[in-house]
Amino acid sequence: MNNVKGEKPFCIIISGLPSSGKTHLSIELSKGLVIYLLNSEFVRERYCNSMKDYFDNVFLSTMNQVNIENKERCTILCASRTSFIFDGNSLDHEVYARLLQLLDHFDYERINIRIKSSEEKCKENYSKRKVGSVFVDESVLGDSVFFTPALVWKVNNTDVSDDSFQYIIENYGSIEEYNNNIKELIEQIKKARSKQNER
């Protein structure tokens, strides 16, 4: 689903609890829709040794450098009017704020997807996270290296209405059920995009 000339570019932004399956969904969407995946951990992985330093000034300067690089990468994609998925996490407030400005400036369609999952399931997934692990999926267009950083389990109690999202996907059961839901979501997005492009 690469951009056709004259077609409005779009950016997919995924929301969900920590460990609800955002990166898995991003990977599958990138492959299923054949669009670029920008994963903020792609940059963070290169700095993981510096991030282990417990001195505040080293940690903060490293975080700042990661944010700068990710904001630059968002700018390059938007300026080239490339459709893409943004896969970020709770460390990416600055990058996310800049991304929203860029999407407005470059007249992007924003596709907001919410993952619904139970807090218990997410906590279970979170407990299985292997901090510092690196996973590579070379069939992904864009960032094919995925890094698992150390994150603090934190749930934002601000409940956002489902009306704020164009798509809702559930991840309560097995990985097979989640993958089936993802396949259905990909087909829904493809149909919606082709209808939009017919206008």
**Single pTM value for the model:** 0.88
CA distances for 131 relative to 43, 59, 126, 150, angstroms: 16, 17, 10, 6
Look up tokens 């417990």; give the residue: 54
Sequential pLDDT tens for the chain (199 residues): 555 556 899 999 999 988 999 999 999 999 999 999 999 989 988 877 665 665 666 667 888 899 999 999 999 999 999 999 999 887 889 999 999 999 999 999 999 999 999 999 999 988 888 888 889 999 999 999 898 877 666 665 556 677 889 999 999 999 999 999 999 999 999 999 888 777 6
